[in-house]
Structure 1
């Protein structure tokens, strides 16, 4: 099915993990996909797989990059139909160790970045009667020790999803979110800055808590991002869909 033919999809943090899997799936369904990230070599590799995938080097936490990213998309591809706020930052950060720089970094990527990008994209999304899909986490609505600031940032993103959905409904722009559970990506090492030993420990602990018995893979989550943006979801907005092997209920 080519249900996204000629649609332009912008995915932040698209060079790896869930974002990369979503980019591939959107492209397979006919979309022109633009991925962003800070590592150009990774973005180039992905773009080399499929002529329908392009990229813009940009930092999701940079206040300057948001408007420039949208300008570049419009200059190169002429329109913007779907925005996927996928890039994320986090930390296992006990309250006693919470310094201003770590907290600021988390909120810059998870809250401020999606807000500024959505603001810059809004005229084009309204013109296309398009969609925004935000990528949250189970911990956006499930408490856990050591995750207060990461969880709070994702809770903010989920509530922004609902508020934006109500605000933009008269313009025909739908806003939903996918709350992903623990997924096999580089997030623990790259974004949470855990040591290899810590990564192994955290993964084992998470797998043990998930009712379906394993951590997810990007291909478990990406189809739900695509589905929320698809024409078949035309009457769906203001929803947060949790995809986490049952962790949310455990």
Structure 2
């Protein structure tokens, strides 16, 4: 059986790196993409079934070059995981247009550009697209006017992709992580922020990078062959619950 190839953007660290490693455990080869070339090379070095590709997904010319390079090395693409993203949490009045554009460039434009460029290859393999949204794209919260809006747009883009590309056998789904125990989150989430999240989450804990990767790789696999156009919140129940849960626990 031909070994499958996954292209994972933003894979130098965090959820992207966890996803690349899990794909390899499941028998795939991985094209690891990140604009941070040095960290990408370090992350990919011990992974014999992965190759690093240092490109910026927000730049159209680099995306085209990246797809060509991946196909040159691997010959096919069976799944695309659009994980690359940036965040900047600011009040609306303090969010400059430059900040807005920087976030949209990667979080929204990058998903569009990579998916579009990879579509011909995915047609050949009846492949899958998994876009990484966020709980912030499903629920509004403070300081996320740019980030949350970008992720909400990614959620809808996923549905557009599913509607249009299904005729070619291409599936498109979106995973929306809730609070995840990454190095970045632990560095910026104060004790008060962590307590507030835990109070609002039925599972009462942060998720792990690997737990998100499990959902991503499932959606790329043949086990999800009849699943497309879906938005899955891997969030410990955060999106499901509303006002009153903390009080009810007491």
* TM-score, normalized by the shorter chain, greater than 0.5: yes
Give the aligned partner of residue 79 of structure 2.
82
Q: Is 1:210 aligned with 2:204?
A: no
Give a deviation string over 1:54-106, Cα, whole Å, max 9, x none. Answer: 11011232233211110110111111111000011122121111101110011
> CA–CA distance in 1 between the matches of 2:61 and 2:90?
27
Q: Please give the secondary structure, in 2, of the residue aligned with 1:215.
A: coil
Alignment correspondent of 1:134: 131
Pairing of 1:168-183 with structure 2 (within 5 A): 168-183=165-180
Q: Which has the greater radius of gyration?
A: 2
Indicate the SS of the match to 1:248.
coil
**Alignment partner, residue 220 of structure 2:** 229
Q: Which residue of 2 aligns with 1:73?
A: 70
Q: Which residue of 1 aligns with 2:238?
A: 247
Q: Deviations over 1:190-249 (max 9, x none)?
A: xxxxxx5x5335444333432222221101110000000000111110001110011102
Aligned residues of 2:57 and 2:113 also touching (Cα < 8 A): no
| C-alpha spacing 1:161/1:187, structure 2 compared with 1 (3 Å) | farther
Are the equivalent residues in 2 in contact too, given 1:9–1:84 (CA < 8 A)?
Answer: yes
Deviations 1:23-74 (A, max 9, x none): 0110111111011112223222322222101110112322332111101101
Which of 186, 190, 213 does residue 200 from structure 1 map onto? 190
- For structure 2, list consecutive stretches of 5 or more residues without a partner in the other structure: 242-250
Alignment TM-score, normalising by the size of structure 2: 0.90
Q: Distance in 1 between matches of 2:184 and 2:121?
A: 31
Residue matched to 1:152: 149
Tell me which of 35, 40, 43 is aligned to 1:38: 35
Deviation of 1:157 (Å) = 0.3
Task: Work out whether residues 46 and 53 of structure 1, in 8 Å CA contact, stay in contact via their aligned partners in 2.
Answer: no
Residues 227 and 171 (structure 1), Cα distance of their counterparts in 2 relative to 1, 3 Å cut: same
1:62 and 1:188 map into 2 onto residues whose CA distance is 27
Map of 1:52 onto structure 2: 49
Residue 17 of structure 1 contacts residue 184 of structure 1 at CA under 8 Å; is this kept in 2?
no
User: What are the residue-to-residue correspondences of 1:82-121 with 2, within 5 Å?
Assistant: 82-121=79-118
SS in 1 for 2:131: strand
Structure 1 range deviating more: 139-148 or 35-44: 35-44
How many residues matched? Answer: 240
